Chains A and B, each alone.
Chain A
Amino acid sequence: MSTDRRDDGGRRLKRILQYGVLGVLTLLFVSPLLYMLSTAFKTTGDAASPDPQWIPENPTTNAFTTILDNEGTPVVRWLVNSLLAAGLQSLLIVATASLAAYALARLDFPGKKVVFGVIISTLFIPPVILLIPNYLITSRLGWLDTLAAVVVPGAAGAFGVFFLRQFFLGLPAELEEAAALDGAGRLRTFLTVVLPLSRPALVTLGMLSFLTNWNDFLWPVYVLFSPESQTLPAGLATLQNANAVRYYLLMAGAVIASVPVLVLYAAAQRYVVEGVSRAGLKG
């Protein structure tokens, strides 16, 4: 950032130190992933060898075929289920929360304070309180072991409403008033004026919701049990239980779970990281 060049030697030293730290960190973050990749292509014996092989001596795709041929471990299905669950839930959150937040930010109606107060107060309820009752409710709705169980209940949290309301309050009202004078209804104003202006906030909320669902472990482990309905976290737990120390299988499963995600992430990296980084600034 600074432009003064009082001390070129010091600056160079600082830069070397900086790249040194970044280099060590990179090694810490990348090498475990490379080792996972390597083990996925090892034979049973090589994967259990105490001498680490960074490059498999007898490369084989045996682990992948074993997993993919096993009906009990449909890893690709798990991946699709996870993407669907996280994608649908974040869409549901963005859609319902933006509508509700807009009403709370811009419209006057009897009971507004009460509604807002009740919604906000639930931000302070630790979600574990809802775990057992939500399980029973999900069960009564007949949603156990279905996609609905990992999409709908988790979309009810108040964070999205709170977050978007803050954002809408910061938008200038003139544009909406102009649209209303042109005869646009509320919904049209909302869809054609407010939402386009709110893209950064919607992306942030969508990304946070996606990542939260993607990383959720407890709920899917208990509400999804048959192999074809499981999401990745639940499925990998099953895979691990069945194969305790058959690490070549576990690593192959982890690789199948990771590679598509990392490719997607590499492509959308800017949106993901920037979406998350804005959460702190607005919060």
Chain B
Amino acid sequence: VTTTRAEQAAAAEAAVGGGTPPGPGARRRSDARDAYLFLLPYLVLFAGFVVAPFLYGVWISLHEYDFSLPDKPWVGLDNYVGLLDGSSPYFDTFWQSMQATWIFTILSVPLLLVLPLLVALVMNEKFRGRNVFRAMYFAPYVLGVAVVAVLWRYLLDNNIGLINHYLGVLGLPSDTAWLTSLPWAWISLVGVTVWWTLGFNAVIYLAALGEIPGDLYEAARMDGASAWQRFRNVTLPGLRPVLLFVTSVTIIASVNMFGQSFLMTQGGPGTETRTAIYQIADTGLTNFSSGASAAMSMIFSFFLMLVSLVVFFLFRERRTEGGPR
């Protein structure tokens, strides 16, 4: 409601101010006024749901902040210290959830970078039905994580699931507990995530491949470059800017994994597949230990930002090495 009202105000202002032919000084002043009006609706949202919660989060993390209790005493850095030196009751569960997050990220990111690229390379040619195939591989992403997870929990059921049935038909073990034992729970979570999001990355790769000029390949072929050399020296450099985008988006998505584990394994077996996000949400929103949960989210974010920096510089380095562009 606030935004539409603000927009109406902006519209009214602009309609009134629009008629006079502006001199240079007046122009600049009206520029500034218009700019603030244009910015206002977004800044209201931004202040309320980004800046305020950020500061509020820091504040909460410095208190023993239990949503359901009247007293919320200041504890300084205790929430952080407890999570680092083991004196917090959440110490074990938190670091186990951090470990679960890294396991999932390390297993899923390489697959989510390479498999969609292979699919995109196979599809990077004009042929009949190309758009239909492309749309089909993207479809699971449109269905959403809940449909995908509910469906795969059925297919992976150890007693009546399709997967175990067909493994049995092939003469392989047909009683694997895909969702309740290790390492299978991880393999299931990673596999389902690949099924769900492969199309997303493939579509982005495919668009980038289409932007690489065909004559670069022609020239490479004239020079007698093999298929691998063409891939290495034409395709990969052409994909570099998009690779940075896809890599960051994929890492961020994997590190924030929650729905798959919540719906398919309920964090199990035990709490083995309970990711950091899962733990943070559970601590803060189910147990209402907001202080501890806020501190966890800060520590988690610290590591996530380190990873992002590494990715960023890895790509930057290579780009300068690669010469122009």
Contacts and interface: CB of A to CB of B under 8 A. Distances in A.
Interface string A13-35: 00100100110011011101101
Nearest to A217: B259
Interface in B26-68: 28, 30-32, 34-36, 38-39, 41-43, 45-46, 48-54, 56-57, 60, 67
B31 A107 contact: yes
A256 to B, nearest CB: 10
A110 interface: yes
Chain A contact surface mostly: helix
B152 interface: yes
Contacts of A2: 214, 217-218, 221
B140 interface: yes
Interface in A136-166: 136-137, 152-158, 161
B174 to A, nearest CB: 9
Given A185-B14, A232-B144, A218 B3 contact: no
A281 B53 contact: no
B207 A278 contact: yes
A230 B217 CA distance: 52
B21 interface: yes
B277 interface: yes
B139 A112 contact: no
B19 interface: yes
Contact of B256 (A108, A128, A280): A128
Contact of B263 (A96, A124, A188, A237): A237
A131 B297 contact: yes
10 contacts: A18-B127, A95-B41, A115-B39, A126-B300, A126-B304, A132-B280, A136-B290, A185-B14, A250-B153, A254-B147
For the complex of A and B, list the 4 residue pairs with the smallest distance between their C-beta atoms, beginning with the closest. Answer: A185-B18, A277-B207, A187-B14, A217-B259
Interface of A: 1-2, 15, 18, 21-22, 25-26, 28-30, 32-33, 35-36, 39, 47-52, 92, 95-97, 99-100, 102-104, 107-110, 112, 115, 118-119, 122, 124-137, 152-158, 161, 183-188, 190, 211, 214-215, 217-218, 221-222, 232-237, 239-240, 245, 247, 250-251, 253-254, 257-258, 261-262, 265-266, 269-270, 272-274, 276-281, 283
